[in-house]
Amino acid sequence: MNLLFITDPLESFKIYKDTTFAMMREAQKRGHSLAACEPQDVMWQRGALVTAHVRDIALTGQADAWFEVRQTRAAALRDFDAILMRKDPPFDSEFFYATHMLEQAEREGARVFNKPGALRDHPEKLAIMEFPQFIGPTLVTRDEADIKRFHAEHGDIILKPLDGMGGMGIFRVGPDGLNLGSITETLNRHGAQSLMVQKFLPEIVDGDKRVLVIGGKPVPYSLARIPQGGEVRGNLAAGGKGVAQALSARDRFIAESLGPVLFDRGLLLIGLDVIGDSLTEINVTSPTCFQEIFDQTGFDVAAMFMDALEQAAKS
């Protein structure tokens, strides 16, 4: 297959842990051709096909200069066998516009994974609200009075922006309510922006588990991101320690319940975040942890993904 990866700059990759790199390595191993671009390289001109300025690349096997550019060219997106949208959050207006251009490319015959419309329809924090049976007490609001009421009811709470990533902007407020007002003002920008409020889950001490679901089926291992020191955040970007572990019965039940539903909507790869028995996020833009799971368990997540991609691209 001829594959196009829409990503952050290749030069920024930390290949020892990068999931997109793991996908590329497995694809090249199977004989697929690789091209890459960034979202800003995609162009849609009146009366023409959606195109992109792409770099045809090959992986070198070296740690530093890990890829080489074979050529740079303009290409219609529909000419690729599969396009992998792997741009990291935040889901801002530019990401939103990119999904519209990719959706037009789909109308022209392109195959995009995850589907642009599905990316747009499943904001990663807000998407859990569709599945109340799997989540803990949660509120989405911009109203300070609502947040105070929720705090009074649950005592120990977490507040976070809807567009954050990597643990950015997450605050915990205990029963004393210390700084609740100032944190609310910071996150809701004095009532102009919605935020998510959740009951604090003490099971976070055992890790914020990333459960990967590929083609509607769960990967048999999760990566528990365990907070370190005085942190409440388990995110690897916030210093959490990643520990791979077999799925619990509850993890598997959540994944097997949501996986087929979300796969049917065009989400080939998702990352469910689970704390204790509660779903806390549904990651759809660029789920990670392939390499950490493989390094600790030997389970080849990239191979499972490429099997699913090859099958989906044919259907």
pLDDT tens digits along 273-283: 999 999 999 99
**Cβ contacts of residue 176 below 8 Å, gap of 6+?**
none
Domain boundary among 200, 218, 252: 200
Are 307 and 265 part of one and the same domain? yes
Of 225, 235, 251, 292, the catalytic one is 225
CB atoms within 10 A of CB 167: 20
Domain boundary among 65, 86, 121: 121
* Rounded mean pLDDT, 133-146: 97
Start-to-end CA span in the chain (Å): 14
Please report, rounded to a whole number, the percentage of residues in the chain having pLDDT higher than 70: 97
| The total number of structural domains that make up the chain | 3
**Cβ contacts of residue 3 below 8 Å, gap of 6+?**
27, 32, 33, 34, 35, 80, 81, 82, 83, 84
- Per the CB < 8 A criterion, the answer to whether 5 and 22 are in contact is no
Residue 67 lies in a domain: yes
Residue 143: helix, strand or coil by DSSP?
A: coil
Can 217 be counted among the known catalytic residues? no
Q: Is the pLDDT of residue 12 over 80?
A: yes
Domain boundary among 200, 228, 252: 200
Q: Taking all residues of the chain, what is their mean pLDDT, rounded to a whole number? A: 95
Of 188, 208, 283, 292, the catalytic one is 283
Can 273 be counted among the known catalytic residues? yes
Of 18, 55, 210, 292, the catalytic one is 210
CATH number, residue 293: 3.30.470.20
Residue 126 lies in a domain: no
Of 38, 163, 233, 292, the catalytic one is 233
> Between 237 and 93, whose confidence is greater?
93
Q: Is the pLDDT of residue 79 over 80?
A: yes
Q: Is the pLDDT of residue 5 over 80?
A: yes
- Per the CB < 8 A criterion, the answer to whether 106 and 98 are in contact is no
Band of residue 213 on the pLDDT scale cut at 50, 70, 90:
very high
- Convert 20-38 to b/e letters by CB count within 10 Å (16 or more is b): bbbbbbbbbeeebbbbbbb
Of 124, 251, 281, 292, the catalytic one is 281
Can 241 be counted among the known catalytic residues? no
* Rounded mean pLDDT, 93-103: 95
CATH number, residue 90: 3.40.50.20
Residue 246 lies in a domain: yes
Q: Is the pLDDT of residue 233 over 70?
A: no
Can 111 be counted among the known catalytic residues? no
- Per the CB < 8 A criterion, the answer to whether 18 and 290 are in contact is no
Are 195 and 258 part of one and the same domain? no
Helices (H), the chain: 19-29, 93-107, 116-121, 144-154, 180-188, 249-264, 290-297, 301-314
Residue 130 lies in a domain: no
Band of residue 238 on the pLDDT scale cut at 50, 70, 90:
low
Q: Is the pLDDT of residue 234 over 80?
A: no
Can 233 be counted among the known catalytic residues? yes
* Rounded mean pLDDT, 47-63: 97
Question: Which segment of 22-31, 84-93, 187-196, 237-246 scores lowest on mean pLDDT?
Answer: 237-246
Domain range for 299 is 203-314
Are 193 and 230 part of one and the same domain? no
Residue 129 lies in a domain: no
Of 115, 125, 199, 209, the catalytic one is 125
Are 11 and 109 part of one and the same domain? yes
Can 86 be counted among the known catalytic residues? no
